[in-house]
Structures are given as C-alpha cells and as structure tokens.
Structure 1
C-alpha cells in the first residue's frame, strides 16, 4: 500500500489509495493488517 510502482496505471493507483485510506480509517482493517504483519497472538492450549 505504501510503495508506488512506475508501471501502475491510474486505476491501480486509485485502488492502492483507496485501500490505504480504508486501512487508516477502519479499526477492523487496521487490526487485520497488524495481525497479519505481526502474527496472531500465541495462545497455549492446555
């Protein structure tokens, strides 16, 4: 979401921007990104 690519057309640029705006403005999207980036919390099974 944060990198620009020289081969992207205007539509791809708008889609990338929309995804970034959604992630910044949505707690659910931000949480999902954080969980996928850092990994889900480890829960030990007993």
Structure 2
C-alpha cells in the first residue's frame, strides 16, 4: 500500500468512526501519515 492509499483509507475510517475518541485517534495517525508523505516528497525534490 502506498502512503497516498494509506492516507485515503485513514480519511475514510475517520469519517466513519463510531466515537469521537476513535476519530481523534485515527486523525492522529492520519496527520503522521501526511507528514510522512510530505517528507517523502521533499526527498524527491531536485536540489
């Protein structure tokens, strides 16, 4: 699974989370995945 796919999966899970606590937990993981993607993109950028 790519990082982009993981992010989309987490977004879907967050939307469908049955409790606010679970949604917040998923959003924490989502934010980490977004930061990881940004770092991956940064490493691909020409210098």
TM-score, structure 1 as length reference: 0.46
Q: Give the structure with the higher percent helix.
A: 2
TM-score, structure 2 as length reference: 0.46
Whose radius of gyration is greater, 1 or 2?
1
